[in-house]
Amino acid sequence: MKLEDLLLKRSENKCELCGSTEQVKMYEVQPQDNSNEENSLIACNTCIAQIDKKAALDGNHWKCLVESMWSEVPAVQVVAWRMLNRLRAESWAADQLDMLFLEDDRLAWAKATGDHENDGSVDLHKDSNGTVLQSGDSVVLTKSLDVKGSTLNAKMGTVVKNIRLVEDNTEQIEGKIEGQVIVILTKYVRKQG
């Protein structure tokens, strides 16, 4: 039986964090050498997006941890600890964190990403108006840009379709202009549509 099938059976096709049955899939809790039943869980897209900092943290959504943090699944315990730490400014989360005990090896795993040292803020790619950008969006240039190392001049008002987010820099996106892939600063674009 495939690992994902085993996890779906264990979770009864529900997110092991919030209990949702919508769009659930296997999630591998990092860091790990190889996926197994201990270090992977079933999670919904809402939980995954917030865990991976691809969506803003919603404290009300994570009140589900009051129940799921008591799971016997190591991966669920580790994610619960990490998310409660991100939300520790909220009194309910701080209270739950005080009650949550992890064995030394699980605590070391939970701390391995350093995620617990951050607050709940999420860095998202945003255009010049503060609108969140996603891969595949179309944007309009709000300023004419000279492309370094090229004679190309991207004129203000140019539409750039199917952008790609630069993973480690929320101030940059990639897009094609006149068949050439270029890096564009998000402060010079506006989401189209």
- Residues contacting residue 91 through CB under 8 Å, at least 6 positions apart: none
Going edge to edge, which strands form the sheet with 189-191?
A: 159-160, 139-141, 189-191
Q: Which residue's entry shows tokens 């000279």? A: 146
List, for the chain, all residue ranges whose pLDDT scores fall below the cut of 70: 115-122
**pLDDT for res 134:** 84
Tokens standing for residue 35: 């996926």
Q: Are 47 and 15 in contact (CB under 8 A)?
A: yes
Residue 27 · residue 15 · CB < 8 Å:
no
Query: How many Å apart are CA 36 and CA 6, to the nearest integer?
Result: 10
How far apart CA 73 and CA 63 sit, in angstroms, is: 18
DSSP state of 22: S
pLDDT of residue 153: 84
**Burial state string for 81-109 with b = 16 or more CB within 10 A and e = fewer than 16:** bbbbbbbbebeebeebbeebebeeebbeb
Model pLDDT, residue 166: 86
Q: What is the pLDDT of residue 22?
A: 96
Strand, coil or helix: 47: helix
CATH T-level topology, domain 139-191: SH3 type barrels. (2.30.30)
What are the residue boundaries of the structural domains of the chain, listed by start?
Answer: 3-117, 139-191
